[in-house]
Amino acid sequence: MTEGPGRRERKKQQTRDTLIATAARLFQERGYEATGVADIAEAADVSKRTFFLHFPTKEDVLLSDGRARLDLAIRVIEERAPGTPLRDALAASLAAMIDDTAARDLPTGMAALRARLIVESPAVQARVLHTAFAGQARIADALLDAYPDELDRTTAAAVLGAVVGAVSAAAMAALREDGDPAAVTEAMRRAAAIALTTLDSLGD
């Protein structure tokens, strides 16, 4: 009895993977706006209805791995070593996300595609921002749980907003200037470092 998911679950996952790969290819070839959900479904040989069974919106097919990355960031905070200072926990959480992106997405070219589409499609941009914002709120909650004596809810939100805002904006600026992935990653790290200084002034 090999554990693991059964055939049904595996087929479901396969459908999902096919949809992601197909969408990525079509977006690459024709551009985001010019590719309809019906086209993706057609090319993946499933119904349009099936697409929406797997992804709530067209944009989400691009952000499929975002939740895993968010979980990672939160886990880093929750599983910190006892006595870890707030600043270090947040820095580690950020670094984990950036490293994970660099390690997983950059080689596959997914990061590059996503970057291109973020720059060229306002709809994607809006969706990414919204997702990031929601994720940042969850991290803020985790941080508040972990350091209840040093933070209140609004301050936690402000700190996370500053950090995520800085990283996002820097990444976008770097993307627009030159798309080199290494340069973008470096810009994100620098922005994170800058924004983390907000924590140094908290005990006033």
Partner DNA sequence: GAATATCAATGCACTCGGTATACTCATATA
Partner DNA sequence: TATATGAGTATACCGAGTGCATTGATATTC
Residues that bind DNA (CB under 7 A): 6-9, 11-12, 15, 35-38, 45-50, 52-54, 56-59
User: By C-beta, is 113 or 160 nearer to its own copies?
Assistant: 160
Q: How far, in Å, are 24, 78, 176 from residue 135 at the CA level?
A: 23, 15, 24
Query: Which of residues 46 and 102 has its CB atom nearest to its own copies in the complex?
Result: 102
Per CB under 8 A, 68 contacts its own copies: no
Token pair belonging to 161: 């907003």
* Binding footprint of its own copies, residue count (CB under 8 A): 42
State yes or no: residue 119 binds its own copies (CB under 8 A).
Answer: no
Q: What is the DSSP letter of 4?
A: S
- Nearer to its own copies (CB atom), residue 149 or residue 204: 204
Listed residue (183, 161, 164) closest to 173, CA to CA: 183
Would you say 96 or 158 has its CB closer to its own copies? 158
Helix, strand, or coil (residue 55): coil
Q: Is 62 in the site for its own copies (CB under 8 A)?
A: no
What tokens were used for 1? 């009895």
Q: Nearest CA to 160 among 101, 63, 77?
A: 77
Which of these segments, 3-11, 81-89, 95-103, 128-136, binds its own copies (CB under 8 A)?
A: 128-136
User: Whole-angstrom Cα distance, residue 181 to residue 168?
Assistant: 14
Q: Is 38 in the site for its own copies (CB under 8 A)?
A: no
Cα torsion at 81, 84, 87, 92 (round to 10°)? -20
Q: Is 185 in the site for its own copies (CB under 8 A)?
A: no
Using CB distances below 5 to 8 A depending on partner kind, what does residue 114 bind out of its own copies, DNA, none?
Answer: none
Nearest to 33 by CA among 126, 123, 159, 134: 123
Binding site for its own copies (CB under 8 A): 122, 125-127, 129-130, 133, 136-137, 140, 153-170, 172-174, 177, 187, 190-191, 194-195, 197-198, 200-202
